[in-house]
Chains A and B, each alone.
Chain A
Amino acid sequence: MARASSLLYLDGVSVSFDGFKALNDLSLTIGPGEMRAIIGPNGAGKTTMMDVITGKTRPDSGEVFFDGNIDLTGEDEASIAELGIGRKFQKPTVFESHTVWDNLELALKAPRGPFATLFHVISGAEKKRIEYLLELIRLGGKRGDLAANLSHGQKQWLEIGMLLAQDPKLLLVDEPAAGMTDAETAETAELLKDIANDHSVVVVEHDMVFVRSLGVKVTVLHEGSVLAEGSLDHVSANDRVVEVYLGR
């Protein structure tokens, strides 16, 4: 896919830490509205790739473009988030001493400057949006609870809710089903599919059942570069993929 028509465009991205090549000439393109699953064994560079996209890590070489022509390599985390890339961490990270409601309110798309927030008064539209999200992530009854008191799965959902509150164009979701029960995993897959209707989503996941239930194009990473790409059945049939990952 050409850069101009892509939403996210990585070309020849390399990152090394103390000589270890975490990403090695990685090239990847995500189209607008696409949902993509990324799999790969530990150390394949999945999280580093997310770090590069969200501005936490600067690539040593290569290009990262968002929305066709916005160069992400020169931006920091805050401005990349403002551009419309939301990220969910592998370990659920919510603001534990805030209530569920406040977590969502903080994530809600609104001016981010100190003076804007100092005089901010929550509007009716914002309240409605939070109510809607609470319903969506099934935490309506826990709106007043501190996030610290939520279960692991609920924290994962709250974080997904916070992602949605940001209303990003692209969601990067790192292992959304980690530590969830089978029922929760299935529900999370449904939720992500819903979200993918009007957002682009990149999901990093280990859980094959989960990836299969998403039913989307899969990219297999290995040692920092793309090993195979295609439907899950297609990549599962690849001998190299079986060797490095599935065959174990």
Chain B
Amino acid sequence: MMTSFLFRAMDTRAGIFLAIMAAAIILVPAGNLLAPEGSAFHVPNYAVTLMGKYLTYALLALAVDLVWGYCGILSLGHAAFFALGGYAMGMYLMRQIGTRGVYGDPNLPDFMVFLNWQELPWYWYGFDMFWFAALMVLLVPGFLAFVFGWFAFRSRVTGVYLSIITQALTYALLLAFFRNDMGFGGNNGLTDFKDILGFDIQADTTRAGLFAASGIALVLCFIVCRALTRSKLGKVLVAVRDAESRTRFLGYRVEHYKLFVWTLSAMMAGIAGALYVPQVGIINPGEFAPANSIEVVIWVAVGGRGTLVGAVLGAVLVNFAKTWFTGALPDIWLFALGGLFVFVTLFLPKGIVGTVSQGWTALRQRKASAAYESGSGDPPSAPPQSPGAPANVKHSNRAPVTAEPQPAE
């Protein structure tokens, strides 16, 4: 059962993606740690951290693509789950500081001492243990998503209304986490981390390790998403996206399907946040900002909605552009981002990956017809394949996805 489930995840496109990821996971840390400084192969420290950060963004984009690209749920609040995962990890890192804080209190983080708190709030218990924090990274975003989704999907809130309440969700959390009384460091958030699992968080090896961990997390989540979207469940999701009420009348309980992917997606976003925080060294309520969630949607749209690989590509490309722009031309970054979104919407409605694979199909079909006309080869029959086509139904002459994702209501 499990093997056939995972077997479905693989095809050429997934293979290429996994090969690139494997190369990055090995070569970047190797280039940083093994190649001597000044060598052409040396990867500077800042680049390792920067790329590690991109990978966590890519994982967040993957999570958004799963719900938006395949199930039509346009989430404008995924940064909330990302930030919650980040806070869970941040709490663990705070507890690891121990007596090395400014006030030297063995139990209380600095901000609590500063606020004259006498003891640790109950919800900070257990976060000194890594396994507990790691569990919370999954459970806290998952639980919130489950409760939110339970009410929203059962009441059949869809389309733009759902998008608006996801914005409200992340904004409410933003305001809540700004309050000092919440016990999460208020405005300043959590920072001044010292070590993670006993390793110095500033050390080159730790940074390389975090990069590799982000890469591996991305690969694993990609395989899960890929297997899931190519299973029958994935077909049901696309069916829900395209004709929700038809799916209901076939006997599928649409709200259960939505709840399942929604919760899974939130957990992936939580993992992304947890890997992000040790690499950037801070988590504060700014991560809940509604604009962040919207930016993630732009990454996915640029890369190609409903393609998984596209989400990763979009996140890396847009963030690379952001890094470059904010360094070289800081004033025009927001204009560039807006311009990019307009450009993609007008000229590449399927995103980069969607457009490329469409062009590839057209090219192959043209070649096939040319071969047929010149008297050799089989008649051109390239049946377009649906996004959730199973591995065990063979169509002759398979072509990449050409189905156009429908707009979310």
Contacts and interface: CB of A to CB of B under 8 A. Distances in A.
A107 B243 CA distance: 13
Contacts of A113: 253, 256
B248 to A, nearest CB: 4
A102 B248 CA distance: 16
Interface stretch (A8-16, A86-94, A199-207, A218-226): A86-94
Contacts of B231: 117-120
B251 A95 contact: no
A63 interface: no
Interface residues of A, number: 41
Nearest to A99: B386
B28 interface: no
B233 A114 contact: yes
Contact of B239 (A98, A122, A143, A144): A98
Given A95-B243, A97-B406, A54 B235 contact: no
Interface string B250-262: 1111101100100
B294 interface: no
Nearest to A84: B251
A102 B243 contact: no
Contact of A94 (B246, B253, B403): B246
A34 interface: no
Interface in B187-240: 228, 231-233, 235-236, 238-239
B305 to A, nearest CB: 12
Interface in A125-181: 127, 143-146, 148-149, 162, 166
Nearest to A56: B245
Given A112-B252, A162-B250, A105 B233 contact: no
A95 B242 contact: yes
Given A97-B406, A117-B232, A166 B250 contact: yes
A107 B260 CA distance: 20
A122 B403 CA distance: 23
Given A78-B254, A95-B246, A101 B393 contact: yes
Contacts of B247: 95, 106
B403 A97 contact: yes
Given A95-B242, A114-B256, A77 B236 contact: no
A187 interface: no
Contacts of A127: 393
Contact of A82 (B243, B245, B246, B251): B251
Contact of A148 (B252, B253, B388, B403): B403
Contacts of B252: 78, 112
Contacts of B395: 99, 143-144
A105 B231 CA distance: 12
A87 B249 contact: yes
B143 interface: no
B405 interface: yes
Contact of A114 (B243, B260, B385, B392): B260
B393 to A, nearest CB: 6
Contacts of B393: 101, 122, 127
A149 B403 CA distance: 10
Contacts of B396: 144
Which 7 pairs from chain A and chain B are nearest by CB?
A144-B383, A97-B403, A81-B251, A120-B232, A77-B248, A117-B232, A117-B233
Interface of B: 1, 4-5, 228, 231-233, 235-236, 238-239, 242-243, 245-254, 256-257, 260, 381, 383-390, 392-393, 395-396, 402-406
Interface of A: 54, 56, 76-79, 81-82, 86-87, 89, 93-99, 101-102, 105-107, 112-114, 117-122, 127, 143-146, 148-149, 162, 166
Given A81-B249, A97-B404, A99-B384, 4 more contacts: A78-B253, A98-B235, A144-B395, A166-B251
